[in-house]
Chains A and B, each alone.
Chain A
Amino acid sequence: ITIHPLRNYLDTAYVGNITIGTPPQEFRVVFDTGSANLWVPCITCTSPACYTHNTFNPQNSSSFREVGSPITIFYGSGIIQGFLGSDTIRIGNLVSLKQSFGLSQEEYGFDGAPFDGVLGLAFPSISTKGAIPIFDNLWSQGAFSEPVFAFYLSKYKPEGSVVMFGGVDHRYYKGELNWIPVSQPHHWLISMNHISMNGNIVACSHGCQAFVDTGTSLIYGPTDLVTNINKLMNARLENSEYAVLCDAVKTLPPVIFNINGIDYPLPPQAYITKDKNSCMSIFQGGLENLSPDNWLLGDVFLRQYFSVFDRKNERIGLAPAV
């Protein structure tokens, strides 16, 4: 059993297409640095979520091999259960042969999710036993000159975002990449020094850890600290979310994440999201249920900062996105 308790599909937003099998069957997946397994729904899945998503039919693929081992993956808001298979998987021009992946036969909590499956890009140590993550398989097959991948998440348009493999396209960021070592080679987890607003430290005062997670769109932290940040914005609790007056966006200060001694400001235009006439804070609590001193930096942060994930050197590079 592989447990990834920090996943939060409710906020997942950026998806890309991959194909599996011969001839290829297409799937829409989340490229997720918070987990390490690839899975898509199986045609035999009878859960309601599977009827609204693309499903893989092993019988229609001449290159499919059944591995058979059962898999169960627990997510923050749902569970998938199924079995392992192996097939040819294509991501753009990259071809991963004999790639193990999960086929879900039961899904709970994925109804209405804007993706069919998840493609995990975390370290192999948190992958299901017997399932080599796709990045590792491609790496061992010599697909990359450099074992890195990077994300550019567009700030302004639904289109224009990219994930790149095997190197970094410098046109997507400004200035220099600042490199941060990962805290342990299981997750894309880094040390954070503190979080401040208006020159005052408002959270993580003695240092903390932050997951850099492309599979979550918001920013999560311990409830009491997040509540403090939301109160400093004069945000009010409305239907389980913190709302601010939309005019306040002009006057609110940036929230500054200090990582490895470097400030990464997040302007109010990034951390306040507008929905019709309401303006909501993207700072969400609840993470202390799973880890007392951790934060989760999702797409809201990564739209501001182009991110490079360097497997060989076990480090993350951040630079202001264009």
Chain B
Amino acid sequence: CVVILPLKKMKTLRETLREKNLLNNFLEEQAYRLSKNDSK
């Protein structure tokens, strides 16, 4: 007996941010956050 559950593909945040021209800022902030985490 296999239980099959449907999944739906959503628009990713990357796609949404790219559309709004905010992806670059986000990725720069993310890189900064990650580098801060590394230093810990």
Contact = CB atoms under 8 A, between A and B. Distances in A.
Q: Is the interface of B mostly helix, strand, loop or mixed?
A: helix
B9 A16 contact: no
Contacts of A169: 2, 4
A90 B34 CA distance: 35
Main SS of the interface on chain A? loop
B4 to A, nearest CB: 5
**Interface size range on B against A:** 20 to 34
A164 B4 contact: yes
A154 B3 contact: no
Nearest to B9: A158
Interface in B10-40: 10-19, 23-24, 26-28, 30-31, 33-35, 38
B7 to A, nearest CB: 4
- Chain A interface size, under 10 / 10 to 19 / 20 to 34 / 35 or more: 35 or more
Contacts of A77: 30, 33
Contacts of B3: 91-94, 164-166
Interface of B: 1-19, 23-24, 26-28, 30-31, 33-35, 38
Interface of A: 9-17, 31, 76-77, 91-94, 112-115, 145, 151, 153-154, 157-169, 217-218, 239-241, 275, 286, 289
